[in-house]
Every structure is written in structure tokens, then in C-alpha cells.
Structure 1
Amino acid sequence: MMIKHGQLDMTWVGNERQAHILKLVEEFGSVRVADMSKKFNVTEETIRRDLERLEREGLLKRVHGGAVSIKKNQTEIPFFRRQSINIKEKQVIAQKAATFIENGDIIALDASTTSLQMAKYIQDKEITVITNSIAVTLELAGREEVTLITIGGYLLDKSMSFVGISAQKVIDDYHVDKFFFSCTGFDVQRGVSEAHEMQAQTKKKFISISDQLFLLADHSKYGTKSLIRVADLEDVDYLITDDKMSVNDMRSIRSLGINVVLA
């Protein structure tokens, strides 16, 4: 930053801005062009040039709408940190998703922060909820109208969730009408993908016992190809996303026969 008339001028010079962008990518796993444009008070085209330079230097990977970390040992972003990422988008997506729940439904919620937001909007519905999320369990605990089933197993403390072979065996015994889940990224060619293998395997098991699949993902996740494929995108019945998804992207997704719902 530069000093101007005795005060801090919040205009970031190129190299300093790029270094800070890289730090954010390494801390959160990904960044969005639109968010960086607002943060550094520069045009989105300037941010894209920054990301192009950082990619040429092998420091990150550009994806649709932003960039992701290329660290080979990248693991799940801690749950409490993920809660603050794109929180407004998650809330509107979660609120819309809750409208698809009907009395008598058996639903499953994954361990995503979007599913936690969705649990907050489940009101006055007599349903059964199956989840591997500690946070969702705590949110729904004590609600008389909800029959709550928590899947045990190996505890992942970063995501506050149960995974592993024992969790998958328990899931196998159930049937689910509607599975609501999120992901690290989704793409027409790559499908729905996750960064953490055990988390991905648990979601695959939920998918195998569910009649309908509801993918809850904001527009920034489109075009991101993560480590483990969870499902083909055409397997999804409904994509519930925010209204920042581009028209061309929605057209590509709808061509697969997916119902795209804008929150």
C-alpha cells in the first residue's frame, strides 16, 4: 500500500495484490474474481490478469470465475472457516431448498455448511432426517416434529462429520426420498467432485440409497474440478444455486435434463 497525504491509501500495487491473493487462495482453498475485485478496488479484468500471472508461475490454478489451490496435500477447509465463505449465497440457497421438503419425507443432509443453513429453515414439517453432520444434528436436536438419525463412524474434526466404512454400512440400511448435498465443485464434463476422499465416499453411499438428488451449490463452484468424483452431473435431479449463475452455464446444465432452480 502507498502513503498519501499522511494517510494510508488502500490502492494495492500489482505485486503486493498478487501476493495477498495467493495468500487467500492458500488459506481458503479458492477465491472468486468478483470478490477480489471488490476487496482490492480494481476491475475484474485486472484480477484475471493477476490470476493468469500466478498460474503461469505455477502458484495456483484458474477455474471458471476464480482460482483454486494446487497444493497436492490440500484437505478439507475447516468447518467454522467454511461457514463464512459466501454465506449470503448459502442462506438463500438453503432457504429455497427447504421449500422442497414435504410432510412425511425421509431426507438426508450431508456435512456441508449449506446443509447446516438448510436445517435452520426446516420448520413445522414432520419428517425423518438422516445425517452424518454433528452441526446439523445439534441444530435439529429437540425438534419434536423431526425424527433424527445420526450416522456414526470415523470422526473428521475439521468438517465435524462422521465418515468411513462403518458409516457407509449404516447408511446402507436406510432408504431416502431426497438427498440434499453440496460439493467442492461441479462441472458438465467432470461432474460433482469433492476434495476429501472419505467425505466423497460417504456422499456416494447416500446417493445410492436416495430417490432424488438436490445439489446445493453457489455459482462460484461451477467449473471447479476437485480430486474425487462424487457423481455425474446428469445424475442430479435439481441444482439449487444463486442468481449469479451465467445464462450460458445454466443452458449447459439444463441440456443434461437437470432442473436448475435460482434462489
Structure 2
Amino acid sequence: MTTMLGAERRKQLVQLVHGEGVAQVGELARRLKVSPSTIRRDLTDLQSEGLLARTHGGAVAPEGTEEPVRQLRSKAFSMEKQRLGRAAAAHVAPGSTIMVTGGTTTQAMTAFLVDVPELTVVTNSLTIAVALSEHEQVDVVVLGGYLRHSEMSLLGHLTREALDELSVDMAFVGTYGVDRRGLTGAHVEEADTDRFLLRSAAKVAVLADSSKFGVRGPVRIAGPERMTYLFTDVDAPADEVAALREAGVTVVQV
């Protein structure tokens, strides 16, 4: 039984590190509910197998794993993402123009958007655009820009220039990390584009499962004052949820 539990834990470790790109020992221990020393041993074993690379205080995904990163991340917390996607789509008004930014959590919305009448979706995600292309009743506007291959998202000044021509009622965004201080990112150019995307929408809805709490990237994207809604699951930390509500964010837990 111990061996099976260890194998399952290491599988989850690989998913988390590949999904985030970088992870710290303390955060991994908190998420998996084991001691930091156990995590360190697991990381050493996984490094020897070439599944990740150790860093001071944590681990990173090895180079050359862009495609597996996205595949693993789309599977991580998949049920939670489906629930968040359904709940978020329920807040989309008929006849509105929304923006859905790139990411595996926001991508879960697409299946629930196709029944919204007279909907226009603006996106910088090729994956989301392709998913919606099968549904002719949804008008899709794809923003241009520089392609970030690992995310299949379009970034940079061309993205921002295209958005200047549009009027967006609500933006639905994922995030690297969220807490009472707002949203953070890990990729500088993506975060810069995200800031502009958020400023361009009348309202902002953030989709973040509970694994995004306690994770803080190096790049600040927006404070809680920019968030209209936060869609998360019931396992989100109660103190952080309360602080965000106190800041005026409407938190929907599913």
C-alpha cells in the first residue's frame, strides 16, 4: 500500500511541476499533505528519472517539454475546471461580447458557451478559437500577436493593437496564482498582455481552482479591485475567500 501511495504521489508531483513550470517544496508539501522532507526525496527520485529538474527550494519542468506540460495541466484538477467553466458560462448574457483568454481552465468554458444566443467571443487562444470554430452560431474574433507555443496563445503589442478596435463586456481569465492581493503570473510577456486584456473589459471574471491559492508568481497582474467575479471551488482557503469578498469581489464557489 505504501508503494502505491508513493507512486500516486509522485505522479501528482510531476503533474503539478509540469503544470506550473516551477514549484516550491513548501507549496508541494501543502498541496499533497505530506512533509517537506518527503517531497524532497520524491523530487530527487523524479530528477534521476528525468521527469523534472531540482532547483534551490523546489523543482522546474525540464526543457523541451512544452507539449507534455499543457497535456498534463489540462488533466490536473479537470473536474474542478469543468465545474468552474459551467458556472462562469452561466454568467454570460445573451448578445454580449466576451473575452476568453488562453489557459486550460478558461478552455473548460467553451463547451458551455455554445448555447448562449448571439454570443461573440474574443480570444488570444488558438486552442479556444479552434474549439469554438465547430459552432457557427458563435462569432469568434481571434486577436493577433506573437505565438507562445507552449500555451498556444498570442501575445505582445499586436494583440493589444487588435483589442483597441473592440468593445468587450466581460473578460474571463485564468491565472497562475491568486490571493487577497490579486493575480500574479510567471511569464513576463504573457503577464504584460494579460494586464492590457483585463483593462480592456468592463468586467473581469477570474477562473481559479483551489490549487491556485497560495501560489504567487513573480509578476503582478492586477489587484482585487480589478476583479468583478472569482469562480473557484469549495476547497479554496476560507480566509482568502473572505478577504476577497471584503475587497468587493463576488466569489462563486462550486
Give the TM-score normalised by structure 2. Answer: 0.80
Query: Gapped runs of 5+ residues in structure 2?
Result: 43-53
Report if the CA contact (8 A) 1:186-1:192 is conserved.
yes
Report if the CA contact (8 A) 2:15-2:73 is conserved.
no
Please give the root-mean-square deviation of Cα atoms over the aligned residues, in Å: 3.2
* Alignment partner of 1:168 is 2:168: no
Report if the CA contact (8 A) 2:85-2:112 is conserved.
yes
Q: Distance in 2 between the 1:261 and 1:11 partners?
A: 33
Report if the CA contact (8 A) 2:18-2:60 is conserved.
no
* Alignment partner of 1:121 is 2:112: yes
* CA separation of 1:21 and 1:131: change in aligned 2, threshold 3 A: closer
* CA separation of 1:90 and 1:213: change in aligned 2, threshold 3 A: same
> Residue 236 of structure 1 aligns with which residue?
227
Give SS of 1:10's match.
helix
> Residue 212 of structure 1 aligns with which residue?
203
Q: Distance in 1 between the 2:110 and 2:8 partners?
A: 38
Report if the CA contact (8 A) 2:18-2:72 is conserved.
no
State the one-letter code of the partner of 2:158.
S
Query: Gapped runs of 5+ residues in structure 1?
Result: 3-8, 37-43, 62-68
In the comparison of the two structures, how many residue pairs are matched? 235
State the one-letter code of the partner of 1:168.
R
Q: Distance in 1 between the 2:103 and 2:15 partners?
A: 21
State the one-letter code of the partner of 1:60.
G
Bigger radius of gyration among the two = 1
Which has the larger helix fraction? 2
Give the TM-score normalised by structure 1. Answer: 0.77
> Residue 40 of structure 1 aligns with which residue?
none
> Residue 212 of structure 2 aligns with which residue?
221
Report if the CA contact (8 A) 1:182-1:216 is conserved.
yes
* CA separation of 1:187 and 1:23: change in aligned 2, threshold 3 A: same
Deviations 1:1-50 (A, max 9, x none): 98xxxxxx5365xxx999888766644434755763xxxxxxx3x43564
Give SS of 2:108's match.
helix
Give SS of 2:109's match.
helix
Q: Distance in 2 between the 1:158 and 1:247 partners?
A: 33
State the one-letter code of the partner of 1:158.
S
